[in-house]
Chains A and B, each alone.
Chain A
Amino acid sequence: MAGASKAVVDSRANLPFVYRQYSPEQLRQVLHTMYLIRRFEEGAEECYMRGLIHGTMHLSIGQEASAMGICMPLAEDDQITSTHRGHGHCIAKGAEVSRMFAEFFGKTTGYCKGRGGSMHIADVAKGNLGANGIVAGGIPIAVGAALSSKMMKTGKVVVSFFGDGANNEGAFHEALNMAAIWKLPVIFVCENNGYGMSTSTARSTAVKNIAERAAAYSMPGVIVNGNIFSEVAEASFKAVERARAGEGPTLIESKTYRHRGHSKSDRNRYRTKEEIEDWMANRDPITLFETELRDFGFIDDRGIQAIRDAVAKEIADGIEFAKASPAPEIATLGNYVYTEQA
């Protein structure tokens, strides 16, 4: 790898944004994290099928480049709010998969001590203020976090992830308006995967592109191919710079696709097999990024295999950690309702 990267560095000027901005080691780490997200969700799905995880979950398989690209330019103490489809955001912001599995297994070692599960997964220490079970619920909270940043002069940037469904909630519009009038350091990231549960954006949304909504709030509206890591990361990088400079919010529409259904109850009656197969075969974000990395000489087949093996071990270890972790005592049911209780 070391030999290859010198040639790469010399010729980087013509490469897409991320290859100019980040080191080969950082980019290989990105591939690692994207695989970690994919395998985490596959592992969670398998554990669900085997009855080890109960409830439901919303998988973001197919959207890994979006989560990773947006989080790439963020600092550790920058903050995000996430959605019911939030596993990828959590991992991209730096969470450990072992503690995420533990949460899904309802264990005390989970990020939420077994109280939140998939839909409320969070990692406050890494700046993830939480996934959210309410569509658009996290958007005003992100604006509030950005208001804190401005008032406390911490320099933090806040990203609010949400889906296309959220763009028709009142909270979205109220939050974008306030962020704009107060010029807050927040980035609104609409991961448009084409469907709010079963209803397509064509049927639910009056504008063709959700980024067009930005015009109503006098902020830049940027459309990116959410399956191309470099495109997403470049848009995020610019939005972070703008936010950090005090110039206000940006709306990024990251067009992507979820390979799996909305949740575990999805019978897949609103989209065709051909459509799903087309996205999986031709526009898989991990395949696209991996191919690019290899074509540009940033990684070889052995390097890719090493990443896959390392991720597989991390996932297996994470599941074992979760299985071996203790369940909460029933007597602790009332904990965390009020601060003085626990």
Chain B
Amino acid sequence: MDAAVRELSYAQAIQEAMAIAMDMDDRVFLMGEDIGVYGGAFQVTGDLVERYGTDRVIDTPISELGGAGVAVGAAVTGMRPIFEFQFSDFATLGMEQIVNQAAKMRFMLGGEVSVPVVMRFPAGSGTGAAAQHSQSLEAWLGHVPGLKVIQPATPHDAKGMLLAAVADPDPVMIFEHKLLYKMKGHVPEGHYTVPIGKAEVRREGRDLTIVATSVMVHKALDAASALEGEGIDIEVVDLRTIRPIDRQTIIDSVKKTSRLLCVYEAVKTLGIGAEVSALVAESEAFDYLDAPIVRLGGAETPIPYNPDLEKATVPQVPDIIAAARDLVKGVR
């Protein structure tokens, strides 16, 4: 296949990035539950253990707190660990090490250390895994100074942002939506990075800005295509990083379109949509707004098992279409 149009799945792109990182730097290694011969719960590490051995692809016991702490300790002392949480929900078990240690160690020690750890979190609903295996907890970590929190939405960005994360001297938390793992897209060969802290305008438009994260970027793009026929021209901003957030790209887009819709899967209240809305309201873009800001987020409920209930919990394409149409037509 022509390298220029080579396609990989999102999971393959991450795996390729980890292999490149390990090839480039002996300090890089992988840790996590069942990431060795099993290949990871979502087959992201796949067969890497066969290529790199059990010394660099380390199966941990089921010890999220201890495992996260070991990764932090290794990072502080010269290694470059990539630690996989089997599900992002299990971040709750490792939160002490993430929030109190990884995020604060450099600060508490007056800059005497850096904590170059990468943690990966398979996140999100849509797999029928119910309330404890489907959450989107990125905003929890996005609230913590000292961490960087990213949500790549495409295979291209999954690879490039992981390679940027490995090169970053500070702790980077990567939230990977499980529904994206099988999505295919163009992924260049070899090493490249996609910068942390930069949003990407996925589609340009004049009538409305949708700021979306992760899998919602694709739903927003579908909604935008559907509304083309109605003469509604939507700009879609893929936020990509929630800390540090790219204020300027959001502000510039809203100044252009005068309308803002935030779409994200995590529970709506106190989430990334509130942050995006507030930063626009606080900025010069406020004066450009022709309509109230609207948020579409997850329902105020745990993720249910029943598939219809599960779908109803998070924004779907028809919800985005309806909200966008109402906003542009001045119904809201």
Query: A-side interface residues toward B, CB under 8 Å?
Result: 79, 81, 110-116, 120, 122, 124-125, 129-130, 132-134, 137, 139-149, 151-152, 170-171, 173-175, 177-178, 181, 335-340, 342
Contact = CB atoms under 8 A, between A and B. Distances in A.
Interface in B89-143: 96-97, 100-101, 105-114
- Interface extent on B, as a size class? 35 or more
Contact of A177 (B66, B97, B110): B66
B77 interface: yes
B66 A116 contact: no
A336 B72 contact: no
B97 A137 contact: yes
Contacts of B148: 338
Nearest to B145: A337
B128 to A, nearest CB: 30
Interface of B: 27, 29, 55, 60-61, 63, 65-79, 81, 96-97, 100-101, 105-114, 145-146, 148, 169-170
Given A151-B55, A152-B79, A116 B110 contact: yes
A79 B100 contact: no
Given A133-B100, A140-B72, A171-B65, A148 B109 contact: no
Contact of B78 (A137, A152, A339): A152
A151 B28 CA distance: 11
A145 B170 contact: no
Contacts, number: 147
Contact of B69 (A111, A120, A140, A336): A140
A113 B55 CA distance: 37
Contacts of A141: 69-70, 72-73, 76, 97, 101
A156 to B, nearest CB: 8
Contact of B63 (A113, A152, A177): A177
Give the most central of B55, B77, B78, B97: most A CB within 10 Å. Answer: B77
A137 B76 CA distance: 14
A113 B109 CA distance: 8
Given A140-B69, A141-B72, A178-B70, 4 more contacts: A112-B109, A124-B112, A144-B74, A339-B169
Which 3 pairs of residues, A with B, have the shortest CB-CB distance?
A: A144-B73, A140-B69, A174-B66
Given A122-B112, A145-B76, A148-B73, A130 B105 contact: yes
Contact of A115 (B66, B73, B108): B108
Contacts of A340: 169
A174 B61 contact: yes
Contacts of A152: 27, 78-79
A140 B100 contact: no
Contacts of B55: 151
A120 to B, nearest CB: 4
Contact of B73 (A112, A147, A338, A339): A147
B65 A140 contact: yes
